[in-house]
């Protein structure tokens, strides 16, 4: 298994969308973009989302400010990790 496959499997272990609780069309989302090598495989950098919340109109990709606010309110520990690590970006 590739490191990305291992990371994806760990994120998918949650079993449902973190926002909606849905169990269909699930996708692993990198909070800090996967192009940044230093955080690419960190489990804390992942969240399981239904495709609507991953790529839809109200999604982490299309409404990043809304997503950051949701993360801070609903997953404060993960949001704190993201904030602490977002400056350690190495491409």
pLDDT in tens, 48-73: 999 999 998 888 999 999 999 999 99
Domain limits at 44? 3-85
Tally of structural domains, the chain: 1
pLDDT of residue 87: 77
Q: What is the largest CA-CA distance in the chain?
A: 34
Examine residue 42 and state whether it is found in any structural domain, yes or no: yes
Examine residue 20 and state whether it is found in any structural domain, yes or no: yes
Examine residue 91 and state whether it is found in any structural domain, yes or no: no
- How high is the mean pLDDT of the chain? 93
pLDDT of residue 32: 93
- Long-range contacts of residues 59-62, Cβ cutoff 8 Å, at least 24 apart: 60/29, 60/31
Task: Encode pLDDT of 6-35 as tens digits.
Answer: 999 999 999 999 999 999 999 999 999 999
């Amino acid at each position: 298994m590739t490191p990305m496959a291992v990371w994806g499997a760990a994120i998918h272990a949650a079993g449902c969308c973190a926002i909606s609780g849905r169990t269909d069309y699930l996708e692993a989302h990198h909070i800090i973009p996967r192009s940044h090598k230093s955080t690419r495989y960190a489990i804390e950098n992942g969240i399981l989302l239904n495709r609507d919340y991953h790529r839809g109109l109200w999604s982490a990709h299309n409404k990043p400010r809304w997503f950051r606010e949701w993360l801070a309110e609903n997953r404060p520990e993960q949001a704190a990790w993201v904030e602490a690590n977002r400056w350690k970006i190495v491409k």
